[in-house]
Structure formats: C-alpha cells, structure tokens
Amino acid sequence: MSLLSAVADFLKPTPPPDPSLRKALDRVAELVDPMLKAAPGFEKHLSGPVQYALGYCDGLVASLPGPIDINRKAFADDPLVHALFATAGDIDQMLGRSQAVRDFLAEPCSWESEYFYAMFAARRQQKKQLGLAQQGDVIRSDVPQLVLFFSGQTLIEPSCQLETTRHGLRCKALESLLYTFHAHVKALRDEREGLRADVSVERAHLTVLRGTSGGHALEVGTRHLAELDARLRHTAESLMPEHLVHALADYLTAPEPALHLTPVSITVDRQGIVTDDATAVFIWPCWPESVATKPSKPLKWSATSNTASCSFK
C-alpha cells in the first residue's frame, strides 16, 4: 500500500505555484525575456530558484538599519542625520524633488499618518582639504583633512506602513537581480549580431579570394570563418529559451555576488571631518543601478542607503 501511495504521489501533477510566486515568475519573464515562458518546464525549473531569490531579498531588506526619523529636529539632534545632509533645508529639497514622494502624496492613504517610511539612499563622497585643527596647544590652519559628505539624497518606496515599504524593497531587490541578468542577455544578443556581421564579411572576403590567388590566404580565411561560425552557433544556442531558463535558475540560486550589503563604519565630527572619535556614521552599500554583469562572474555594484522614517514638520 505504501508503494502504491508513493507511485501515486510521484504521478501527481506538480501543484501550481502560490499567487505571490506566480506573480514573481511573471515578473521574471517580463524583465528578462517574454519568450522564457515558451521554454519547457518554465515554472518547474524556476519556481525553486525564484523562491530562493525572494527569500534572499527578504533577508537583505530585513538587515537594513533603521528606521530613523529624518526631519529638521532630527537634523539638530541626531548626529547621523546631521552627517547625511549639509543643511536642514536639504531635507525639504529632497522631499520636494522626489517623484516617489509626489506619487505617494497623490494617494489618499498617504494622509493616514503624520509619518511615512521609505528607504533613504545617497551617494557617499569624500574630499581632501586643509583646515583648522588643534595640535597640542597650537591651532593650525594647514592641517590635512578628509571631509565626508553626501549627494543625490532620495527616498525609495514611501508608505505609511513599514511592512509595505519592506515588501516594495524586496520586489525592487528581485528586479535588480533580473535587470542584471537581462543585461547579460542583451550583451549576448549584441554579440550574436556582431558575429553575424563578421561571418557575412568573411564569406564575402572568401568569395573574392576564390576568384583570385587563393592559396594560403584562402586557407586562413576558411579557418577563420569556421571559428566565427562555431562562436555564432554557441552564442545562438545560449539565447534559446531553454538554455536561458537553466542559466537563470543557476544565477538566482547564487545571487550573493550580484547583490549584497557591505556595512561600513566611518567616524566624523559635526563638520563632517573624518576623525578618530566623534559621531559614528554607518554607510550601507545597497541597491545597484546600472551595471551589466555576466551571471557567471557578476561584478560588485552599490549605492549608499539607509532605511528611514520621515515626517513633515
């Protein structure tokens, strides 16, 4: 009876993925290549890897620091917020120029609370200067200093509910992985088109050689054409939907090199000068923006970020 049950269980069709996973699979096909759905076993081969990638993205979002308050009062009281902005007015400018905030405020739900949650992101920059510093009992004006400052402050996935923001960030993390893979697919397509052009040129060249001297040049050209043809076939096969599905599955089950967080601790004073003792500022490299990498050897790419809760005051 147990053997029959085992056989019956084996013959049962694979249950359909849950709605959230199915939505993620649809997003995979949309961002990478709609033709992926035509590959045999699209859901079967990708359900597990996509589920793993979603769990990995959940872990990334959960490890983000915060939330912290960002407003004029926090700029005066919180050394971290003071380090992230040059002036309190920069907070207002960030809110005013944020399209994400404008879209959020257009929704009726945005008025449910005085505060909203979002991921804060900025570019970390440093510059060297000569400045004032006390060395012993002497005040010197030519002391080399390293100044930390931030630019391009922005807010991502604003929402009145922290969990809604975290869910949106998880989706963006997955999309980031998919955009990286899509860039690899585009690079392969560009390579294929280039090889097609090279093959066409080489064939025309061989036609000319056959009508003239031939000999060694014809032999070299024939060998070169064979090499180009082999590379073209290999690239074309790599772009077949079934091959892309398997490559994507491998990529999503090992997403760590392509997307990860690296905490960095830097200590600055109230003027933003890097020092050995003062206010600790934590900089968290996070979501990538525009780096195309091959899934087999993804590059490290990052932008500075922090999770923050913001209020209008």
279 lies in some domain: yes
89 lies in some domain: yes
pLDDT score of 147: 85
Whether the Cβ atoms of residue 32 and residue 244 lie closer than 8 Å to each other: yes
pLDDT score of 110: 84
5 lies in some domain: no
pLDDT score of 213: 66
Q: What is the mean pLDDT of residues 150-162?
A: 92
Kindly report which listed range (112-126, 158-172, 183-197, 203-217) carries the lowest average pLDDT score.
Answer: 203-217
> How confident is the prediction for the chain on average, in pLDDT?
80
pLDDT band of residue 15 (cuts 50, 70, 90) is: low
Kindly report which listed range (9-13, 75-79, 87-91) carries the lowest average pLDDT score.
Answer: 9-13
Query: 272: helix, coil or strand?
Result: coil
Kindly report which listed range (8-12, 47-51, 144-148) carries the lowest average pLDDT score.
Answer: 8-12
Cα separations (Å) of 244 from 43, 166, 196, 248? 13, 30, 20, 6
Q: How many helices (DSSP H) and strands (DSSP E) are in the chain?
A: 10, 6
pLDDT score of 17: 62
Pairing relation of β-strands 69-70 and 115-135? unpaired
More confident call, 304 vs 78: 78
pLDDT band of residue 13 (cuts 50, 70, 90) is: low
- Domain hosting residue 55, numbered range: 15-184+243-313
Kindly report which listed range (9-13, 27-31, 132-136, 247-251) carries the lowest average pLDDT score.
Answer: 9-13
238 lies in some domain: no
More confident call, 134 vs 78: 78
pLDDT score of 3: 54
What does the pLDDT look like over 282-302, one tens digit per residue?
A: 444 343 333 323 333 322 222
226 lies in some domain: no
Per DSSP, 13 falls in state: P
pLDDT score of 5: 57
What does the pLDDT look like over 201-226, one tens digit per residue?
A: 988 888 887 777 667 778 888 888 89
Q: What is the mean pLDDT of residues 309-313?
A: 40
Paired with 285 in beta bridges are 304
Q: What is the mean pLDDT of residues 195-203?
A: 91
The H-or-E segment that residue 79 falls in is: helix 79-84
What does the pLDDT look like over 220-269, one tens digit per residue?
A: 888 888 998 899 999 899 889 999 999 999 999 999 999 988 887 788 88
**Residue % of the chain over a pLDDT of 70:** 82
91 lies in some domain: yes
Number of domains in the chain: 1
For residue 189, the one-letter residue type is R
311 lies in some domain: yes
What does the pLDDT look like over 108-136, one tens digit per residue?
A: 888 888 889 999 999 988 888 887 777 77
Peptide bond connecting 67 to the previous residue in cis, omega within 30 degrees of 0: yes
58 lies in some domain: yes
* Res 156 pLDDT > 90: yes
pLDDT score of 172: 93
Residue 128 CA to residue 287 CA, distance in Å, equals 27
